[in-house]
């Protein structure tokens, strides 16, 4: 059981991202515990609160009033967020705010000023900074392995527009903020922006010049159909590094001196991290009486019997019938 000492964090705004964050806080974030949820839609707030056994409310103020609360995740429609950030800052809570922080620069600047004035911390939800592939790009660039950065290329594709596009902002504010943050993170501050929008606002190309002298380009499509993609490439004077290719989403590929290199899976713990959780999820259901094992003692006996037969065959140098052990295992 996660210990009660996990940092207590609440979530306000229970749309897709808010529910995802609440579920993660409740079950997968080792250092945190979900300490409350709020949404203007009462049934939504109640359902999630009851499911996770935490306080729920239709008002963020009720959550903010709890002295024990250390931090709050804000995931409401973007236009509302700057005001909520100010309120949370006034209440002295640390803030995690979904991207984009808001839809206009002025209200966001006010929110950021309030955060500073109240001496709380604000983290923004540009999750690529936590993605292994993008992190490998940054780390490789920083080591100097690819030399000086000349070109940055980002591809960002959604399979389909969000079901509820209201309040998300246009293609630039909704999608390209991710790429623009990545561009700044990897290539420094841009000095010039040139954008072309096509496909009725569903696709665009953004050209960038950076203060460093590098150039960049971002291409965006929000109904590309085939799936989700966010991939990038850094072309340097001594090499190139890429991440996010559809067939290689988690790894970064280094192209240098005539060859392309990708890291390999280190061990079973890395390769099967999800499977090791999945098998215990299933066993928890078995132990609670809700499910039957999918890998039984019969299976274990059969596999061990075959392994023993294989060891015997290797020693004897002849093929052996498997039936004897199969019989015993049944």
DSSP state of 115: H
Give me the least distance between CB of 40 and its own copies, in Å please. 23
CB 239 within 8 A of CB 137: no
Helix H or strand E segment including 153: strand 149-157
213 backbone φψ class: left, alpha, beta (φ>0; ψ -120 to 50):
left
The residue range among 40-48, 55-63, 122-130 that interacts with its own copies, by the rule CB under 8 A, is 122-130
DSSP state of 58: S
Residues in contact with its own copies, shown as a per-residue x/- string from 208 to 237 under the rule CB under 8 A: xx---xxxxx-x-x-xxxxxxxx----x-x
Residues in contact with its own copies, shown as a per-residue x/- string from 57 to 96 under the rule CB under 8 A: -------------xx-x-------------------xx-x
Residue 55 found at the interface with its own copies (CB under 8 A): no
CB 138 within 8 A of CB 145: no
Residues in contact with its own copies, shown as a per-residue x/- string from 138 to 177 under the rule CB under 8 A: ------------xx-x-x-xxx----------x-xx--xx
CB 20 within 8 A of CB 49: no
Determine which residue in the list 49, 100, 140, 186 makes contact with its own copies, applying CB under 8 A.
Answer: 100
Diameter over CA atoms, the chain: 81
* Strand-strand pairing, 71-74 and 94-97: parallel
Residue 272 found at the interface with its own copies (CB under 8 A): yes
The residue range among 38-46, 60-68, 103-111 that interacts with its own copies, by the rule CB under 8 A, is 103-111
Give me the least distance between CB of 162 and its own copies, in Å please. 10
Q: Map tokens 């850094």 to a residue.
A: 234
Give me the least distance between CB of 13 and its own copies, in Å please. 15
């Amino acid at each position: 059981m996660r210990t009660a000492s996990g940092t207590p964090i609440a979530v306000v705004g229970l749309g897709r991202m808010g529910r995802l964050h609440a579920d993660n806080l409740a079950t997968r974030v080792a250092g945190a515990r979900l300490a409350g949820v709020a949404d203007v839609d009462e049934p939504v707030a109640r359902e999630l609160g009851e499911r996770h056994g935490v306080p729920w409310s239709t008002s963020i103020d009720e959550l903010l009033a709890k002295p024990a609360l250390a931090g709050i995740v804000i995931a409401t429609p973007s236009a509302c967020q700057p005001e909520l950030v100010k309120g949370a800052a006034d209440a002295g809570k640390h803030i995690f705010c979904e991207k984009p922080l808001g839809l206009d620069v002025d209200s966001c600047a006010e929110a950021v000023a309030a955060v500073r004035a109240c001496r709380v911390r604000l983290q923004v939800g540009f999750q690529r900074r936590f993605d292994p592939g993008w992190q490998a790009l940054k780390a490789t660039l920083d080591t100097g392995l690819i030399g000086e950065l000349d070109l940055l290329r980002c591809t960002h594709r959604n399979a389909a527009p969000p079901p509820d596009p209201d309040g998300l902002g246009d293609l630039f504010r909704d999608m390209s903020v991710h790429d623009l943050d990545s561009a700044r993170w990897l290539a420094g501050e841009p000095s010039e922006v040139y954008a072309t929008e096509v496909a009725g606002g569903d696709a665009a190309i953004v050209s960038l010049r950076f203060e460093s002298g590098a150039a960049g380009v971002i291409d965006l499509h929000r109904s590309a159909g085939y799936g989700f993609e966010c991939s990038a490439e850094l072309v340097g004077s001594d090499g190139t590094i890429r991440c996010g290719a559809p067939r290689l989403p988690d790894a970064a590929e280094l192209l240098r001196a005539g060859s392309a290199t990708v890291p390999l899976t280190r061990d079973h713990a890395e390769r099967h991290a999800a499977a090791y959780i999945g098998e215990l999820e299933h066993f928890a259901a078995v132990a609670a009486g809700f499910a039957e094992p999918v890998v039984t003692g019969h299976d274990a006996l059969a596999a061990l019997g075959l392994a023993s037969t294989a060891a015997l065959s290797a020693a004897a140098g002849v093929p052996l019938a498997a039936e004897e052990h199969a019989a015993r295992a049944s």
